[in-house]
Structure 1
Amino acid sequence: MHFTRPRDLLVAGLVALALVYLLFQFAYDSIPRLPTFAGVTLLVLAVVEAVLAYVLRSRIRSGRVIQPVAVARAVALAKASSILGALMVGAWLAAFAYVVPRGAELTAAAEDLPSSIVGVLCGAALIAAAMWLEYCCRTPSDGDQDRPPGATG
């Protein structure tokens, strides 16, 4: 498995943006109002992954034994979460791009604007936490400056 590349996230985000924007073009008048805090679930996932990253990083740097399968699972979680975050940022950006120009003429669009902002920010937080978790799962190199003396990797 390869670590996540930024271009993979960019492609996923752009595909989601295009598809959701088209969906809004054709069906915005028939969908219900977007819940303001719908994107907060992404923030909860981001916090969980940030805590996991911190724990794994401290264990790896202290030289404690960690099961390789646990690290592999954490990398798989991080990779899946970063792609999910990119898809959701793209979707919420599409919502934002659709409702901003229509906010003055449609009450529903003005009410959906906070939802899109919260969604974009929480999706970006998930991407950041997932990328940090993935980074923390790497084996420290010999030139790593902030490893304690005597730690093995």
Structure 2
Amino acid sequence: MNATRIRDLLALALLAAVIAWLLIRTMYGSLPPIPVYAGASLYPVAALEVVLAFMIRSRVQNHQLGDGPRQLHPITAARSVALAKASALVGAASTGVWVGFLLYLLPQWATVQAASQDSTGVIVGAIAGVALVAAALWLEHCCRTPEDPDDPSEPAT
């Protein structure tokens, strides 16, 4: 399985930002106020993935891979990679949506009171999306197995 590419996440975030900006441009007046905690639901997921990454990293570094107790089962590692890849996509898309909101709200700050009130929730959401992407990429990185220098099938460099 290939590592998640940053450019793919950036492209997804850009696409989501453009679509969100276009939709918000036409519908902003009919939207309810954006509370500060609107995007905060991604923070616990990011924190959970960081904790999981440190646990997996510790087991991989100590060569505790296998079926036994206190060992990391290979299926668990594969599921963690799948979680990391999915979370990176969700984080990139949500960051793009919140950035699209922010791009619409920034020019409106001085003239529309709702825009200045909504900006706090939008910024919290955008930061949460970035935090989720960072946590997901860290988790994916921690799930990699270290190179074995004693492996005879590996070509010498």
The answer, yes or no, to whether TM exceeds 0.5 is yes
Larger Rg belongs to? 2
2:87 alignment counterpart:
81
Q: How does 1:34-113 map to 2 (within 5 A)?
A: 34-65=34-65, 66-113=72-119
Q: Name the CA distance, whole Å, in 1 between partners of 2:57 and 2:28.
A: 44
Q: Deviations for 1:123-144, whole angstroms, at most 9, x for unmatched residues? A: 111111000000000011247x
Q: What is the Cα deviation at residue 7 of structure 1?
A: 1.1
Tell me which residue corresponds to 2:9.
Answer: 9
Name the SS for the 1:138 alignment partner: coil
Question: What one-letter code is carried by the residue in structure 2 that aligns with 1:88?
Answer: S
Cα deviation for residue 113 of structure 1 reads 0.7
Distance 1:142 1:104 in 2: 59
Moved over 2 A (4+): none
SS in 2 for 1:4: coil
Aligned to 1:147: none
CA distance in 2, matches of 1:52, 1:29: 41
List per-residue Cα deviations over 1:19-75 (Å, max 9, x = no partner): 100011110000101111111111111000000000000011111122111111000
Q: Secondary structure at the match of 1:2?
A: coil
Alignment of structure 1 residues 115-134 onto 2, 5 Å: 115-134=121-140
Q: 1: CA distance between counterparts of 2:148 and 2:98?
A: 41
TM-score by length of 2: 0.88
Between the two proteins, what is the percent identity of the paired residues?
45
Distance 2:147 2:74 in 1: 17
| TM-score between both structures, scaled by the size of structure 1 | 0.90
Question: Match of 1:33?
Answer: 33
Q: How many residues align?
A: 143
* C-alpha distance in 1 between matches for 2:38 and 2:44: 11
For 1:148, the equivalent position in structure 2 comes to none
What one-letter code is carried by the residue in structure 2 that aligns with 1:141?
E
